[in-house]
Structure 1
Amino acid sequence: MHTRPSPRRRTSHRTPDARPRTTARLLAPLLAAAASALLVTACSPGAPPTSTVGTVDAALAALPRSTPSTLTSYYAQRPNWRSCGVTGFQCATLRAPLDYTKPGSGDVRLAVARKKATGKARPLGSLLVNPGGPGGSAVGYLQQYAGIGYPADVRARYDMVAVDPRGVARSEPVECLDGRRMDAYARTDLTPDDAKERDALVAADKRFAESCGAHSARLLRHVSTVEAARDMDIVRAALGDRKLNYVGASYGTFLGATYAGLFPGRVGRMVLDGAMDPTLGARELNLDQTAGFEMAFQAFAKNCVRHSDCPLGGKGTTPARVGDHLRAFFRELDAHPLPAGDADGRKLGEALATTGVIAAMYDEGTWGHLRAALASAMKEKDGAALLALADSYYDRDASGHYSNLMMANAAVNCLDLPPAFTSPEQVEKALPRFEKTSPVFGEGLAWASLNCAYWPVKATGEPHRIEARGAAPIVVIGTTRDPATPYRWAQSLSRQLSSGRLLTYAGDGHTAYGRGSACIDSAINTYLLHGTPPTEGKRCS
């Protein structure tokens, strides 16, 4: 999804423990009833054009097979590995050109980490992992989860490797607001009641964008997904691998698919879990995610009322009525924020409470925690637990420091696609559609979609198909009730890819591999270890 939950800003895989964290996954770490998400077919009057699945003519073109001489020095690098941070892990730094159209005019430093294969059998090379975002630290994900939590058989045969994409975490991070100003940004009211509140929201988005432009001017034009994918090919060469083996979750699927489109002949064993659809424009992505989070909330609501501690209604209460109760609670917080026992004096207002609820929608394993947090806020007037959920989403620590997750997230999203809206008037025209799509979250997610309107750098990307003709089989995993990356996105991406194989998980939550399905895990482990992809149309539950 995104900074202030505007849907598409932050999509990322959650680790299986389902604790509400964010970058070891964004989500993944960050980390409902109907199986299909809203199909978007039209725009509101006055909106910038967006693309609909099946109507996008442009396809990502593959780069030449041979490496240009201007890039030889980058491809000839060899990492100088050193021990780092966590026992058993090694780190190195590689260079990539800041601007691929002008190699030699400046470099970007890329942070790379690995954990060597643990087994004695013939190694299978490197397996790159990415948890999503954009903005999630792949290095952090490797050290906190993938390097120790992936199946032992996979870790025995592969060197587990991660690279933080340019602008993220250890790879020359995009910088914008300091902690105090991020606190103010995170609590900005996303459901303005009048012109004054609307102007305050617009001003907050402008301050965020201007701050990013002031502090990261050198990077902002060069943090696109295409550039990050090209960086991965430099990493592949530096590791000595002929082909790239890769597991990407959530936004990591877009990064992996982009790599496949650019370098189809260099694709090894590739898994794209919780897929994004590159043919969609920003508004369509946001509307689809709005529908996804509403679907997840409906599933949560049905589950909540079965428990005696549900503060939103008892047994027999309909999901719609549960939503009414939650919206009423949000309205109360808008007028009277709750104390949260925060050392910096922050209170729980409507915006942060909404973020906390959305954070818990990524994984059904967090629903019990959300029930308790809502009960504490609604009955005991203590907002601490919901505020902690919101902090996990924003990747804010107890000292008030934010990682650059949300800053990189906006920088990549605003460069990859033209903005969903270019003015508050366009948002207002689209509000009825967003609110119909999600009575609970629609209004806030519509206004949050305005964030790229004031970005200091013009978007360089457009919606497009990715075909990757000539690539080895690519496994695309879709979860039928995934709130952040709706199932139809996986269906679309698997159809676009000339060698795509769709693997379906019939269930809830964001992403599927490593989240408890023996059927999914067995199919992916077999593919990674033996190169045999799942049969076309395989479903797991």
Structure 2
Amino acid sequence: MILSIGAAPSSATSRAPDLGGIDWRPCPERADIDCATVPVPIEWDRPGGATIDIAIARLKATDPGRRIGSLLINPGGPGHSGVQAVFESEGYFSADLRRQFDIVGFDPRGVARSKPVLCDATLKEQQYAKLFPTDQAELDDLTATTRKLGADCRGHTGPLIDHVDTVNVARDMDAIRVALGESKISYWGVSYGTLLGQMYAERYPARIRAMVLDSNMDHSLTGYQIQSDGTAELEASLGQFADWCARTADCALHGKDVHEVFDSLYAKAERGELTDNGRKLTPPFFVWDVADSMAYPLDANTGWYHLAEWLRSLHENSRVGGRSAHDDLVEGTPGAVTCQDYSERATSYQMLENYRRKLARLAPHTRMNPSTWAMLTGCTQWPTKVTNPEHRLKVSGAPPILVTTSRYDVLTPHPWAANVQRQIPGSVLLTYDGVGHETYLHSPCGRAATDRYLLTLNTPAPGTHCPAVWPSK
């Protein structure tokens, strides 16, 4: 039996065919990094049909004599460019990793240089503005806009739009492994990249040398659990921010009751009186802006120092300005992928209202997590099928996999990583006891453990915790 590249092996002795190597050329953006493409079928079940080219980039190991192999990376999203991540990898991954690995990233199908899903920017912005309906009429309006947006994206993208789920991307990743000439791959994925890693581990466990899943999606959850986990994590993160401000003299809200300031701004948003840079902030969009800063507390431009100053300026009515213009076409990859990986839809406003009431009791300040809520409302009447529905992982025969997570992560809550670890036999969970998304970025301890595992295959002890790192100037 001859297998198509990317098909699941039928036995332990099955082999994917050789693609004949990769024609590496210097990248137009950076001549010191190699770029190429790998052709894959749009429909893996029809390997003789139309194809697309998957863009890949490689930063070679700085010590070729000690080279271990290729480290494939995915920076998340869905929709983030793995090629761009390679361009930025020297400032992200440690010198030890770069000495012994070729850092290899790719733009998943439908992203950036790999035939992006394209949509009308105005329609996409209209849908985004309607993600939090307040009655059945607004939900119906959102549904109609989503249907129109989906049709527009299909018109600009073509048949690929029906085949951008994460299992298809995992099959593409195995084609890249074959093209690289690697019998096994090492992989690091963050956020959405963890879902890609999970799907790869299900299909190709014997083709993994090492795998790091940093800040995990949990594809076994459906419905309210996604909402409640995300909301509880955001509420707890706001509490951590308030505690940090109370003990940090140069926090702009030091000496104030942060929860009281937040609640007053939320009430102002409810009255339609809260604006920022000319944009009226409804309560969900106010909370979403706060959550964005919660995800990266150490960032100099958007982190907790910035958040405190922003909240104080809103509280003192000192912000003015206008919104920026948008392009005519934008990438619509995140919604296109999510709507094929997750099946829950907002079927009625009563359903949303029931969720909203329960979440408000769970989180009396933040009320909901807007990023998980958008997963619920943004796919109703999307024109493609759910081709990779939620399920518990079935991974058998993989090497030990390292699962890392922050104790407080508003984008991928800690319970998700803990549950993923329980679903993967032999995997190990490492918890960073701070706030933020991307353990490798926030925790020197987590970064060292990740490097050690990728280089030596030695996992940290089960249940390892890394200390929190708090913003400081």
Q: Say yes or no: TM over 0.5.
A: yes
The yes-or-no answer on 1:355 pairing with 2:288 is yes
Who is 1:315 aligned against?
255
Q: 2:21 aligns with which of 78, 82, 87?
A: 78
**C-alpha contact 2:408 2:435 (8 A) present in aligned 1:** yes
Amino acid at match of 2:275: L
Who is 2:265 aligned against?
326
| 1:236 Cα deviation from its structure 2 partner | 0.6
Distance in 2 (alpha carbons) for counterparts of 1:486 and 1:158: 30
Distance 1:214 1:371, change over 3 A: same
Distance in 2 (alpha carbons) for counterparts of 1:486 and 1:410: 20
Who is 2:307 aligned against?
370
Q: Secondary structure at the match of 1:210?
A: helix
The yes-or-no answer on 1:292 pairing with 2:233 is yes
Who is 2:67 aligned against?
123
The yes-or-no answer on 1:212 pairing with 2:153 is yes
The yes-or-no answer on 1:277 pairing with 2:201 is no
| 1:91 Cα deviation from its structure 2 partner | 0.9
Who is 1:535 aligned against?
461
The yes-or-no answer on 1:379 pairing with 2:329 is no
| 1:247 Cα deviation from its structure 2 partner | 0.6
**C-alpha contact 1:62 1:468 (8 A) present in aligned 2:** no
Distance 1:282 1:135, change over 3 A: farther
Distance 1:196 1:261, change over 3 A: closer
Amino acid at match of 1:524: T
Distance in 2 (alpha carbons) for counterparts of 1:416 and 1:77: 32
| 1:322 Cα deviation from its structure 2 partner | 3.7
Who is 1:429 aligned against?
354
Length-normalised TM-score, structure 2: 0.87
Q: 2:343 aligns with which of 402, 418, 424?
A: 418
Distance in 2 (alpha carbons) for counterparts of 1:103 and 1:235: 15
Residues 347-394 of structure 1 deviation map (CA, whole Å, 9 limit, x = unaligned): 343265443222111022201111222333342442559x7xxxxxxx
Who is 2:470 aligned against?
none
Distance in 1 (alpha carbons) for counterparts of 2:363 and 2:395: 35
Who is 1:469 aligned against?
396
Count of residue correspondences: 453
Residues 124-160 of structure 1 deviation map (CA, whole Å, 9 limit, x = unaligned): 110011111111111112212x244311011011100
Distance in 1 (alpha carbons) for counterparts of 2:384 and 2:76: 22
Distance in 2 (alpha carbons) for counterparts of 1:263 and 1:491: 22
Residues 313-364 of structure 1 deviation map (CA, whole Å, 9 limit, x = unaligned): 7636263x344223123224xx346362xxxxx6343265443222111022
Distance in 2 (alpha carbons) for counterparts of 1:369 and 1:472: 42
Who is 1:343 aligned against?
none
Q: 2:113 aligns with which of 170, 175, 178?
A: 170
Residues 163-202 of structure 1 deviation map (CA, whole Å, 9 limit, x = unaligned): 1111112111111222x4444444347253x555454444
Q: 1:488 aligns with which of 415, 429, 432?
A: 415
Distance in 1 (alpha carbons) for counterparts of 2:178 and 2:150: 35
**C-alpha contact 2:276 2:314 (8 A) present in aligned 1:** no
What is the alpha-carbon root mean square deviation over aligned residues? 2.9
Q: 1:497 aligns with which of 424, 427, 434?
A: 424
Amino acid at match of 1:78: G
Who is 1:256 aligned against?
197
Distance in 1 (alpha carbons) for counterparts of 2:402 and 2:258: 38
Distance in 1 (alpha carbons) for counterparts of 2:212 and 2:97: 13
Who is 1:228 aligned against?
169
Q: Secondary structure at the match of 1:470?
A: coil
Distance in 1 (alpha carbons) for counterparts of 2:257 and 2:276: 29
Amino acid at match of 1:416: D
Amino acid at match of 2:113: R
Residues 397-442 of structure 1 deviation map (CA, whole Å, 9 limit, x = unaligned): x65239856x211111110121242233321232211222333444
Residues 65-109 of structure 1 deviation map (CA, whole Å, 9 limit, x = unaligned): 47989x74xx41422111111242111111111111111111122
**C-alpha contact 1:147 1:160 (8 A) present in aligned 2:** no
Amino acid at match of 1:112: I
Distance 1:420 1:290, change over 3 A: farther
Residues 247-272 of structure 1 deviation map (CA, whole Å, 9 limit, x = unaligned): 11111111111111100110111111
Who is 2:93 aligned against?
150
Distance 1:309 1:269, change over 3 A: closer
Q: Secondary structure at the match of 1:458?
A: coil
Who is 1:3 aligned against?
none
Q: Secondary structure at the match of 1:513?
A: helix
Amino acid at match of 2:59: K
Q: 2:186 aligns with which of 245, 249, 252?
A: 245
Distance 1:403 1:237, change over 3 A: farther
The yes-or-no answer on 1:526 pairing with 2:452 is yes
Distance in 2 (alpha carbons) for counterparts of 1:420 and 1:291: 21
Q: 1:265 aligns with which of 173, 195, 206?
A: 206
| 1:534 Cα deviation from its structure 2 partner | 1.4
Distance 1:462 1:78, change over 3 A: same
5+ residue gaps in structure 2?
1-6, 468-473
**C-alpha contact 2:132 2:377 (8 A) present in aligned 1:** no
Who is 2:50 aligned against?
106
Q: Secondary structure at the match of 2:216?
A: coil
**C-alpha contact 2:296 2:436 (8 A) present in aligned 1:** yes
**C-alpha contact 1:94 1:110 (8 A) present in aligned 2:** yes
Q: 1:64 aligns with which of 5, 10, 18?
A: 10
**C-alpha contact 1:93 1:111 (8 A) present in aligned 2:** yes
**C-alpha contact 1:187 1:349 (8 A) present in aligned 2:** no
Q: 2:102 aligns with which of 159, 176, 185?
A: 159
Who is 2:4 aligned against?
none
Distance in 2 (alpha carbons) for counterparts of 1:538 and 1:240: 35
Distance in 1 (alpha carbons) for counterparts of 2:118 and 2:43: 19
Q: 2:85 aligns with which of 141, 149, 153?
A: 141
The yes-or-no answer on 1:88 pairing with 2:32 is yes
Distance in 2 (alpha carbons) for counterparts of 1:437 and 1:243: 44
5+ residue gaps in structure 1?
1-60, 341-345, 388-397
Distance 1:308 1:213, change over 3 A: same
Residues 282-322 of structure 1 deviation map (CA, whole Å, 9 limit, x = unaligned): 542233212222222222233345567878x7636263x34
**C-alpha contact 1:250 1:485 (8 A) present in aligned 2:** yes
Distance in 1 (alpha carbons) for counterparts of 2:274 and 2:94: 45
Distance in 2 (alpha carbons) for counterparts of 1:262 and 1:533: 23
Residues 460-490 of structure 1 deviation map (CA, whole Å, 9 limit, x = unaligned): 2222222421111111112211222111211
